[in-house]
Amino acid sequence: MRKAEDDYSVHSGHTDHIISSYATYEEYLDAQISAKDLYYLEDENLARQLVELGYRGSGETLRREEFETRKKAAEIVRVQKAKAMHKTLASQGKDLSESPFLQELADREEMVRNGKLTSIIFIRDRNRKGQEISGYIDYAHRLKTEHFEVYFERKKKLLPRPTDLSFYNWETQTPTSNPTPNFQVIADNEAGLLFKNKRDRKIINVDPKADPGDNSRRVEIKSPEYMQIVIYDHVTRRKA
């Protein structure tokens, strides 16, 4: 009985991760289609059908009805949580005069929380072991999953993690990348690392020599407590 409960818990947790990571069922199917599949099939819709039928992808594929039902349920929970959230911003009333970076985060907090703005934070610094690390953080996702007061009170330092959009440890040479509810990571690309906004499907290019993309801007911030900080702001507009 215990094993059955554990198996259900693992499956449920995996399903919840899928629901939170993909904005649409088509996006979920596309994530399981390889470049090789498209090369041989030459038809994106056929490739999606094969994934939906379980002939492609890894593990058991969620049916469209289950995906959409869970997606609606997750949205109801999200709205309820948003309504229940304390209206006071995490940065409100905090003295941020000694940290230009935290001030920049505070300036964006309200717009990011209400969905009018998404921001990707690039940080390069050292961890507690003295190892140089860098990564791209989905600010909105972190705001929703953490108590940010500790960062604004400077009790804790905001650093990238292996669970963020992108993370790299320069000493161990360990890279990781993960989708979030707001962004899809496009790593295997000639243009380098790209992020696709899941709401309006616009691409954010983080190459400092390139244009960041439509409705996006790149802001470099000098702050004494970090080696390097860049914020990529994207004004979200839902695709019609």
Q: What token pair was written down for 128?
A: 């507690």
Q: Measured between alpha carbons, how far is 9 from 120 in angstroms, rounded to an integer?
A: 32
Q: Report yes or no on whether pTM surpasses 0.75.
A: no
Answer whether 167's CB lies under 8 Å from 161's CB.
yes
Half-sphere exposure of 216 (CA within 13 A, CB side): 27
Q: What is the DSSP string of 138-175?
A: EHHHHHHHS-THHHHTTSS-----TTSSEEEETTTTEE
**pLDDT, position 65:** 85
**pLDDT, position 76:** 85
Rounded alpha-carbon distances, angstroms, from residue 50 to 41, 43, 58, 136, 207: 10, 11, 12, 33, 35
**pLDDT, position 9:** 43
pLDDT tens string 77-136: 877 776 655 557 999 999 999 999 999 999 999 999 999 999 999 999 999 999 999 999
Half-sphere exposure of 181 (CA within 13 A, CB side): 16
H helix count then E strand count, the chain: 8, 9
Averaged in consecutive runs of 10 residues, what is the pLDDT profile of the chain (240 residues)?
43 65 82 71 75 66 84 83 68 94 96 94 96 97 95 96 96 93 86 90 93 95 96 78
Specify the 3-state DSSP secondary structure of 82.
Answer: helix
**Closest to 123 (Cα-Cα) out of 157, 94, 91, 156:** 157
